[in-house]
Chains A and B, each alone.
Chain A
Amino acid sequence: MTDKLRTFLAQSNIANWLGFSIAEENGALRYALSFDEQHIGNPAIRALHGGAIAAFLEVAAQCELLNALPGNAAVRTVNLDIDYLASSRAQDMYGRARITRLGRRIAFVEAEGWQESKDRPVSRARFRLRIDANTQT
């Protein structure tokens, strides 16, 4: 993980709340949510809160984009769409993200999260982010 991402995560309280971490796998970034009771949505079904999954994928998308931008750029999420494809469990979640289009001002990033197997995504989301090239991060 680059120093830029390390700094970004260290400054982000929500990343701490998510138990967010980054590992490198075959040259790509792999994101992880470390399970905590606070991530539970409905205790009757012991699943992760859908919003917590969305927040995890959003931080992943922001990291993926920041990693591709010059050092002093900042990003702000414009909007997102998230699909809940399968039930989640009360355990860690992993994620990966992909930049589908990097414009000068707007970037499109897709992210997906899984638990047991990469082949069975729990959730997939699309994010549009505004790039501010002049802001210090």
Chain B
Amino acid sequence: MTREINPAIGAMLKNARDWLTHEHSLFRSLKLEPMLIGKGKATFAVDLPEDFAGASGAIHGGLLTIIMDSIFGLCVFTALDKLKPIATINLRSDYLADAAPGERVICDADCIKILDEVAFVTGKVTTKNSGIILASGSGAFMVGTRGLTKASRL
């Protein structure tokens, strides 16, 4: 496996980045900013807006899962040799600390293996200022899904 991202996938990621930060309502509200993108590696800075607080006033864990699912998926794209659609098969999240609304965090993801069209990703979410780990996760993604609009996502 080469260390370089396939140029076609690099171009797609750049388009995806423009789209993620400018047009898409969910990702725009998270103020997604790429910090490091390499083959099988992705690190993004993200906001935790107050809109995603839970009843306790702290950020709801669901937002951390939203962030990990997104960045883990982008990370899979960086590892591919040819652009293919992907779909999350399953995801696991551990919630390790509460975060305050308005906090800026770093999500880093590592695509550790692709075996028989299944990509394995691990990663975590830490606070940008103090490096406190908020969540840790792992996921499996199907590479090369059949049909984009109908049939099963797998």
Contact = CB atoms under 8 A, between A and B. Distances in A.
A55 B151 contact: no
A115 B23 CA distance: 26
A87 B89 contact: no
A45 B149 contact: yes
- Would you list the 9 A-B pairs with minimal beta carbon distance, nearest first? A55-B62, A51-B66, A87-B153, A51-B69, A11-B55, A14-B60, A12-B55, A79-B94, A13-B53
Interface string B71-102: 00000000000000101111111110000000
A58 interface: yes
Contact of A14 (B52, B70, B152): B52
B68 interface: yes
Contacts of A84: 87-91, 153-154
Contacts of A40: 24-26
B123 interface: no
Interface of B: 19, 24-26, 29, 50-57, 60-63, 65-70, 85, 87-95, 148-154
B149 A81 contact: no
Tell me which of A74, A77, A137 has the highest count of chain B C-beta atoms within 10 A of its own C-beta.
A77
A11 B153 CA distance: 35
Contacts of B89: 83-84
Interface in A44-71: 44-47, 49-52, 54-56, 58-59
A43 interface: yes
Contacts of A15: 55
Given A81-B92, A82-B91, A12 B153 contact: no
Contacts of B62: 14, 51-52, 54-56, 58-59
B149 A46 contact: yes
B154 to A, nearest CB: 8
